[in-house]
Amino acid sequence: MLNECIFCKIIAGKIPCHKVYEDNNFLAFLDIAPRNPGHCLVIPKKHFRWVWDVPDIGEYFEVVRRIEKVIEKELKAKYVMSIVWGEEVPHAHVWLVPRFEGDNVEIKLGEIKKLGEQEMKRIAEKLRKALK
């Protein structure tokens, strides 16, 4: 299963991502199928099927909170939704989806916004700099 896990491949550097944050235990990157610009995924580097299986869940959610605060400030989001779905990829992950005034986004599986490569790079760089 680990050899097939797309998030494990991203952690191993086998699949590129727009990295926003990384430490010894966690990685955050922009979702390739964003619900809004700045939609991030925060994952543990060690493979766990569910968020609730992460041994130090407090540390995990401290990282999630830190990234949420930066997304809100840097992207001028009205607020940031956090979603623990876990259905689409069998690796623990938290979605952070910025919400903007009048964005009319309904969070449903399968609905995405198309962002260009340059826009993804710009957002990732802005968030990464603010998280240093």
Half-sphere exposure (CA, 13 Å, Cβ side) for 61?
11
pLDDT per residue as tens digits for the range 37-85: 999 999 999 999 999 999 999 999 999 999 999 999 999 999 999 999 7
pLDDT number for residue 115: 77
Based on the structure, what is the number of domains in the chain? 1
Q: What is the CATH number of the domain that holds 70?
A: 3.30.428.10
17-44 residue pLDDT tens: 999 999 999 999 999 988 899 999 999 9
Catalytic annotation on 91?
Answer: no
Pick the more confident residue, 131 or 26: 26
- Active-site residue among 18, 39, 91, 93? 93
Listing DSSP states for 29-74 in one string gives: EE-SS-SSTT-EEEEESS--SSGGG-TTHHHHHHHHHHHHHHHHHH
Report whether pLDDT(112) > 80: no
pLDDT of amino acid 111: 55
